[in-house]
């Protein structure tokens, strides 16, 4: 066990197991047996952290501290012990990393240039200091794993890049050119190191973004603030965050005002003002001010941690172009052998024949593409767009049609009830109360607006109705006092349910003309009332549409379940020329299918349950962060901010990534063709050829990793 922190009256410690608690209690009892002292023990088996509290006396603190230190010195703490359940059955003890190493220290990565410099330095220093007679044996020993891998591939009937690498090294050894064999091995090692570094860099950056640091968190406890370990923060804690500190939890501001830098979450370049009731997210930073946050998501339940898991899990979803690159690299290998054999038949020169094997196209193609894709995914995450797999980067880069749901996408997703029109003898209170009673079962912005309105007016209700049924893209229904009660669009209430809405025709026309959205409540086959809602457009919506147009998107289509009047008002304001009102889920998927059949690469942007089918059918499904669970699950790209620009950023990043892949391919083909030509004509030696080829591979990998190397 170790002491984490001590102040008069409080000692925080770490222990590898709950089993040490009885020993600690006995030791402390022995230390203070002649004193009338009460010591409170608290130990969290999940985090392995404990707390001792007692009277805040300096002398007593020293006595207890010495006793704990003495016990800690006598205990052997393993570096990492497996989690297990203690005898009590409700305690779980897990080992901790050494206290001297924080999460940031563990995940800190060296510069790739330092890693490469160390490898090169070690390679040449070993060659310089090693006796000349030993160098050939050392070269053979070093390259043996590559040779064996090539042999294993051959035994499996595969003629791939591993076979080609083994042949290049083997031919160098056959010509007794041990320096060339060693150089090939070094440069292949550097290329693979760059790929490994990129993967670890991605994970480390995600950890830094989403897990935060290991600094103590200040929370309100009893009469004042107390610093605790981040792992001990629980939902409901009041967390204090001051200027310059990162926010460790998801939650709502309960007190104070601050300017919060959310660039790591949303990509916004400027700090955002956060006041009472504002949402804040783990991983963002307070630039100015001080706030107290009511924590709602902690640890692995923060939005950032969930995003990190998505990206980590999606690493296996390779881009199609990645698979094509691997297949192309392997297909090139037999031709390299054929060309080498042809050169030997013509020239009868083993040296020139080996040159073809020493400078192949496969290695760089196979390494550079996944590096580019991985870098693009991380860059997009920094800009507020989580791309769930490399294969979607290609589709994003090719987009030429975007279909946009209106509510929650182009609008702020926080509609407000602006008016209620009761009819047929029903009261305003009845309409609002029962609409809220039905809508509270569904996490949708419109539902939340109605529930907020009812709560604001103090309308509490009893669950007198039957089970509420959601009818996809239409509305909801239930039974109240033996009568069927429905709530939804005009299409649902009037056309499907056959309820006459003429009694509110004047009101409906007036609301429709002003662009308001309407919900209809019917009870027992009669219209009970109409609820008018307004959902303001996002401030960035107009700019977003113009950016799509400037990016060459040929078709921009708006879909909405609202009436034609509302849809037309929004479309005119945003200057969208193609829109569809009262769109049902099957109509949305039909539109997606039609656009794809016309040759378009289509993105569908939506956030509701009724958008999930279209999200799945589109080439790229995009969901907003506040979307329904099924929409967030069905999407290929999740926008983690309120910025529509994050989607535009993901398109731009994807296009840049694909351009890098194409440029890499051109460079690889051109440079290696040139090198092979030089080798075949005898202008350069095999050793120089291997150096030039593998150096080009390293440069290509570095170009692929450019967003990471530039710190973006």
Residue listed under structure tokens 């003629």: 159
Q: Cα(first)–Cα(last) distance of the chain, in Å?
A: 40
* pLDDT over threshold 80, residue 386: yes
What class has domain 217-309? mainly beta
How confident is the model over 44-100, as pLDDT tens digits? Answer: 665 566 777 777 676 777 777 777 777 776 654 333 333 333 333 332 223 222 223
Confidence of residue 558 (pLDDT cuts 50, 70, 90): very high
Choose between 342 and 62: higher pLDDT. Answer: 342
Choose between 18 and 135: higher pLDDT. Answer: 135
Choose between 116 and 323: higher pLDDT. Answer: 116
- Report percent pLDDT > 90 for the chain: 11
Average pLDDT over residues 562-571: 80
How confident is the model over 238-256, as pLDDT tens digits? Answer: 999 987 788 888 889 988 8
Active site residues: 405
Locate 545 and state its tokens. 């549409």
How confident is the model over 516-542, as pLDDT tens digits? Answer: 878 899 999 999 999 998 878 888 889
Give whole-number Cα distances, 697 to 162, 329, 359, 669, 701, in Å: 15, 13, 10, 11, 6
Q: For residue 113, how far is the Cα from the chain centroid?
A: 27
> What string of H, E and C letters represents the secondary structure of 425-455?
CCCHHHHHHHHHHHHCCCCCHHHHHHHHHHH
Locate 50 and state its tokens. 């404990």
Task: Give the contacts of 212 (CB within 8 A, at least 6 positions apart).
Answer: 230, 246, 248, 282, 283
pLDDT at 84: 30
- Tell me how far apart the alpha carbons of residues 406 and 570 are, in angstroms, rounded to a whole number: 8
Residue listed under structure tokens 């296009």: 655
Least confident segment among 14-18, 462-466, 680-684 = 462-466
Choose between 343 and 137: higher pLDDT. Answer: 137
Choose between 328 and 283: higher pLDDT. Answer: 283
**CATH classification of 2-100, choosing from 3.30.1370, 2.40.160, 3.30.70, 3.90.930?**
3.30.70
pLDDT at 360: 65
pLDDT at 199: 59
pLDDT at 409: 82
Confidence of residue 564 (pLDDT cuts 50, 70, 90): confident
Choose between 222 and 321: higher pLDDT. Answer: 222
pLDDT at 547: 92
Containing 396, the helix (H) or strand (E) segment is: helix 391-398
Residue listed under structure tokens 């530039």: 710
Measured in degrees and rounded to the nearest 5, phi and psi for residue 288 equal -140, 150
pLDDT at 473: 55
- For residue 401, the SS3 value is strand
**306-325 burial, b for 16+ CB within 10 Å, e for fewer?**
bbbebbeebbebbbebbeeb
- Tell me how far apart the alpha carbons of residues 136 and 142 are, in angstroms, rounded to a whole number: 10
Label the pairing between strands 578-580 and 555-559.
parallel
Average pLDDT over residues 333-360: 72
- Tell me how far apart the alpha carbons of residues 297 and 294 are, in angstroms, rounded to a whole number: 9
pLDDT at 189: 75
Mean of all residue pLDDT scores within the chain: 75
How confident is the model over 390-429, as pLDDT tens digits? Answer: 778 888 999 999 999 887 788 876 788 989 999 999 999 9
pLDDT at 107: 38
* pLDDT over threshold 90, residue 704: no
Residue listed under structure tokens 């499996």: 156
Give whole-number Cα distances, 515 to 410, 545, 573, in Å: 14, 20, 11
Choose between 470 and 525: higher pLDDT. Answer: 525
pLDDT at 604: 92
Least confident segment among 54-63, 107-116, 461-470, 685-694 = 107-116
Domain spans of the chain, in order of start: 2-100, 217-309, 310-360+659-709, 377-411+537-651, 416-534
* pLDDT over threshold 90, residue 602: yes
Label the pairing between strands 84-85 and 49-53.
unpaired
- Tell me how far apart the alpha carbons of residues 194 and 363 are, in angstroms, rounded to a whole number: 13
Measured in degrees and rounded to the nearest 5, phi and psi for residue 195 equal -65, -45
- Report percent pLDDT > 70 for the chain: 72
> Topology of domain 377-411+537-651, per CATH?
Rossmann fold (3.40.50)
* pLDDT over threshold 90, residue 206: no
pLDDT at 103: 34
How confident is the model over 260-292, as pLDDT tens digits? Answer: 876 555 545 457 788 888 888 887 788 778 899
Give me the count of residues in the chain. 712
**Fold match flag (2-100 vs 377-411+537-651):** no
pLDDT at 200: 65
Choose between 312 and 356: higher pLDDT. Answer: 356
Architecture of domain 416-534: 3-Layer(aba) Sandwich (3.40)
* pLDDT over threshold 70, residue 304: no
| pTM metric for this prediction | 0.56
Confidence of residue 452 (pLDDT cuts 50, 70, 90): confident
Label the pairing between strands 416-422 and 469-471.
unpaired
Confidence of residue 361 (pLDDT cuts 50, 70, 90): low
């Amino acid at each position: 066990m170790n002491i984490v922190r001590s102040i008069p009256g409080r000692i925080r410690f770490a222990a590898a197991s709950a089993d040490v608690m009885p020993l600690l209690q006995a030791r402390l009892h022995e230390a203070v047996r002649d004193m009338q002292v009460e010591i409170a023990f608290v130990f969290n088996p999940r985090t392995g952290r404990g707390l001792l509290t007692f009277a805040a006396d300096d002398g007593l603190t020293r006595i207890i501290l010495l006793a704990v230190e003495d016990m800690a010195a006598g205990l052997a703490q393993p570096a990492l012990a497996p989690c297990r359940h203690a005898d009590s059955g409700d305690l779980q003890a897990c080992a901790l990393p050494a206290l001297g190493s924080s999460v940031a220290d563990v995940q800190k990565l060296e510069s790739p240039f330092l890693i490469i410099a160390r490898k090169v330095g070690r390679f040449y220093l070993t060659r310089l200091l090693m006796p000349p007679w030993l160098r050939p044996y050392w070269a053979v020993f070093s390259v043996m794993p590559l040779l064996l891998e090539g042999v294993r591939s051959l035994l499996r009937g595969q003629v791939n890049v591993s076979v080609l690498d083994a042949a290049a090294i083997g031919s160098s050894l056959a010509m007794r050119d041990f320096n060339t064999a060693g150089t090939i091995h070094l440069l292949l090692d550097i290329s693979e190191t760059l790929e490994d570094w990129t993967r670890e860099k991605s994970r480390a950056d995600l950890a830094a973004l989403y897990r935060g640091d290991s600094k103590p968190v200040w929370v309100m406890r009893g009469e004042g603030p107390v610093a605790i370990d981040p792992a001990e923060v629980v939902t409901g804690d009041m967390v204090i965050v001051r200027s310059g500190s990162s926010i460790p939890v998801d939650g709502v501001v309960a007190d104070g005002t601050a300017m919060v830098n959310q660039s790591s979450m949303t990509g916004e370049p400027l700090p955002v003002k956060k006041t009472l009731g504002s949402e804040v997210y783990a991983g963002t930073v307070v630039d100015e001010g001080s706030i107290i946050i009511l924590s709602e998501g902690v640890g692995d339940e923060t939005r950032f941690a969930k995003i990190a898991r998505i990206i980590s899990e999606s690493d296996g979803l390779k881009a199609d172009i990645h698979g094509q690159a691997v297949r192309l690299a392997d297909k090139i290998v037999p031709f390299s052998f054929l060309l080498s054999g042809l050169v030997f038949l013509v020239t009868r020169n083993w040296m020139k024949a080996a040159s073809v094997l020493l400078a192949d196209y496969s290695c760089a193609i196979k390494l550079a593409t996944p590096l580019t894709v991985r870098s693009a995914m991380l860059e997009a995450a920094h800009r507020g767009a989580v791309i769930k797999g490399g294969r979607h980067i290609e589709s994003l880069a090719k987009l030429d049609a975007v279909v946009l749901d209106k509510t929650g996408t182009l609008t702020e997703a926080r509609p407000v009830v602006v008016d209620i029109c009761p009819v047929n003898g029903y009261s305003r209170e009845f309409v609002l109360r029962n609409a809220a009673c039905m809508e509270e079962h569904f996490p949708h912005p419109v539902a939340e607006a109605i529930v907020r309105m009812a709560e604001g007016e103090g309308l509490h209700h009893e669950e007198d109705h039957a089970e509420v049924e959601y009818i996809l893209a239409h509305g909801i229904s239930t039974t109240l006092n033996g009568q069927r009660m429905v709530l939804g669009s005009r299409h649902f209430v009037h056309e499907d349910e056959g309820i006459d809405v003429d009694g509110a025709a004047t009101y409906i026309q007036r609301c429709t003309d002003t662009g308001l959205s309407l919900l209809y409540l019917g009870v027992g086959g009669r219209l009970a009332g109409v609820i008018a809602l307004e959902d303001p457009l996002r401030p960035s919506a107009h700019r977003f549409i113009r950016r799509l147009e400037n990016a060459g998107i040929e078709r921009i289509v708006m879909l909405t379940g609202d009436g034609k009047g509302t849809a037309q008002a929004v479309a005119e304001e945003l200057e969208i020329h193609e829109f569809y009102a009262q769109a049902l889920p099957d109509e949305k998927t039909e539109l997606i299918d039609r656009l794809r059949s016309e040759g378009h690469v289509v993105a569908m942007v939506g956030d509701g349950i009724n958008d999930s089918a279209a999200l799945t059918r589109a080439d790229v499904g995009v969901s907003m962060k506040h979307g329904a669970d099924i929409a967030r699950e069905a999407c290929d790209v999740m926008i983690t901010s309120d910025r529509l620009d994050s989607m535009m950023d993901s398109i731009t990043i994807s296009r840049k990534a694909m351009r890098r892949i194409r440029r890499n391919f051109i460079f690889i083909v051109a440079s290696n063709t040139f090198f092979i030509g030089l080798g075949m004509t005898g202008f350069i030696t095999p050793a120089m050829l291997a150096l030039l080829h593998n150096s080009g591979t390293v440069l290509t990998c570095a170009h692929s990793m450019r967003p990471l190397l530039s710190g973006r």
